[in-house]
Structure 1
């Protein structure tokens, strides 16, 4: 093991993330009582330009009026891009008026680490000026060719950064990919055309202690397609996926929750290896298969996730 290690910066249960337009207060109220682990209130793509200002006011009201932590939710706000005239006012208004009620800010189309530095500087100044004792985290959307080309440097940025998300639709557009599907498979490609990009982002996350989250699947009338996409992401190491429709929340929670049989086997692996160590052996066998220290690390990941899910189901905890 290298002497250079980056432990997970902030641990949050993140199986499902519901995207909610900031322009629709009815949807926001429903999101608060949904079974999503994370809700992001959107000021960017889901909000038309004439509605941007009102959506910002709606989000401030929702952050102040709804106790998201008591509802068992991590709440995030996706601001507008740094290349727009809306971004600075999104950050200032949200932070000044509700910065002590917010968990994270989702920054779209991050291309270079300096993009995060700009947002972080504004967030830090408002927290200091307002005397907030809470600390708002940052999450970055990797959804452009530039962002993917710099994903390792972005992940290594440090500071408030907690997670990277894969934005497949804008990534496809940025790369001029021949598809109009959001997250689905292309019949003209022999396999999963997003495999490399998602895997590269996940590796960057795990190298630098970040959560890795897969983005949207556009066809909410295709639950089987969503499950398949979520399973592929989970197999690569993602810990959750967006839901652009409430019907996708349960699917994400299902796929990214370890089955009881897997958790049971993980616990038996831990026990078997401890018994082996007491006997001076570094390996053991469970269910007719050899296990060793690497098996223990994989088992510990499953057990930690199962413990987090059980804790969330037993009662809301402070997500801050």
Structure 2
């Protein structure tokens, strides 16, 4: 292990993140009753400039008026290059509510962007005597952000998670995208010709590098990596496949904008009953070995190594959080 210890972000479930338009208060009740782990109010691109002030007020009222249960509550602020961001933070954080847990910083380009938000948030929290310390979700959705992702991930002790914004990212790098978060049939390889001269085409995942890079930067700094949206609501199998690819690469969750996508995300990013049972067996084997002098642990006649133990600890901790959420819902 490195001499530099990694401080892990505050533990929280982020399997599913529900995108809610802050200028559409008629959707808030269903969001509060949804299965989402995180509810994120959108005040950025999808809210027109002349509706942003009312959208902020809607968020304040929603945080106070609805029972959000065990959900983590987030808000996507406007970009630092707009005249709206400071009011997003001032209006919400000076309001009489501490139910907001996170803000999502869009289009982060470098560490200075995170520092700028941190300074303003820290001043407001101190001035208002806020007890609930705000965490930062950070969107990587530009070439600059991806190039500087390591410094961004390490920029603040408030950092909670990194999120890939496929739509803007594709535009930034000029990628040829068919479906946001989905596959492109042109991204494929051809096999050699068989005896009949036939060549088979195998699709690849055009998001593989971006997601892998995001995962590495997040994990290296104790943060959660979260995949962004899959914007074809009619293609549930496509959503599931995209979520599974992200999960295999190390992501903890995925965005969506309706209850079916939240159910799918929770399913994909939750450990199976069998995996949890096996993880508990690994931990018991490690505990048994420690109780008799700390010798090498074995399970089913095979040695249990530290990476297995660490993976088991993480999996069991997640399973316990999921069970706790079920208990309190």
TM-score (ref. length: structure 2) = 0.91
Instruction: Report how far residue 118 of structure 1 moved.
Output: 1.1
Q: Does 2:214 match 1:234?
A: no
- Asked if the contact 1:142–1:164 (Cα under 8 Å) also holds between the matched residues in 2, the reply is yes
In structure 1, list runs of 5 or more residues that go unmatched.
none
Partner residue in 2 for 1:26 = 26
Spell out, residue by residue over 1:18-63, the C-alpha distance to the aligned partner (whole angstroms, 9 max, x if none): 0000010011221011110100000012212332222122112112
Partner residue in 1 for 2:54 = 54
Match of 2:115, SS? helix
Partner residue in 1 for 2:263 = 250
Match of 1:76, SS? strand
The match for 2:279 among 266, 282, 293 is 266
Distance 1:199 1:26 in 2: 37
- Asked if the contact 2:115–2:156 (Cα under 8 Å) also holds between the matched residues in 1, the reply is no
Distance 2:137 2:253 in 1: 14
Instruction: Report how far residue 224 of structure 1 moved.
Output: 0.9
Alignment of 1:144-293 (within 5 A): 144-190=142-188, 191-276=204-289, 278=292, 281-286=295-300, 290-293=303-306
Alignment of 1:39-188 (within 5 A): 39-68=39-68, 71-98=69-96, 100-188=98-186
Match of 2:161, SS? strand
Instruction: Report how far residue 89 of structure 1 moved.
Output: 1.2
Distance 2:266 2:294 in 1: 40
TM-score (ref. length: structure 1) = 0.93
Spell out, residue by residue over 1:121-154, the C-alpha distance to the aligned partner (whole angstroms, 9 max, x if none): 1111111221222211111101110000000001
Distance 1:219 1:147 in 2: 25
| Structure 1 residue ranges (4+ consecutive) displaced by more than 6 angstroms after TM superposition | none
Distance 1:225 1:289 in 2: 38
- Asked if the contact 1:99–1:132 (Cα under 8 Å) also holds between the matched residues in 2, the reply is no
- Asked if the contact 1:269–1:299 (Cα under 8 Å) also holds between the matched residues in 2, the reply is yes
- Asked if the contact 1:20–1:39 (Cα under 8 Å) also holds between the matched residues in 2, the reply is yes
Distance 1:98 1:177 in 2: 44
Alignment of 1:286-301 (within 5 A): 286=300, 290-301=303-314
Distance 1:315 1:182 in 2: 34
Aligned length: 313
Calculate the aligned-residue CA RMSD, in Å. 1.6
Spell out, residue by residue over 1:201-242, the C-alpha distance to the aligned partner (whole angstroms, 9 max, x if none): 111111111111111010111111111111111111111111
Instruction: Report how far residue 159 of structure 1 moved.
Output: 2.6
Instruction: Report how far residue 99 of structure 1 moved.
Output: 5.5
Distance 1:232 1:157 in 2: 28
Distance 1:126 1:315 in 2: 31
Partner residue in 2 for 1:4 = 4
Distance 1:137 1:275 in 2: 38
Instruction: Report how far residue 248 of structure 1 moved.
Output: 0.3
- Asked if the contact 1:273–1:292 (Cα under 8 Å) also holds between the matched residues in 2, the reply is no
Distance 1:158 1:17 in 2: 22
Distance 2:96 2:59 in 1: 9
Larger radius of gyration: 2
Match of 1:97, SS? coil
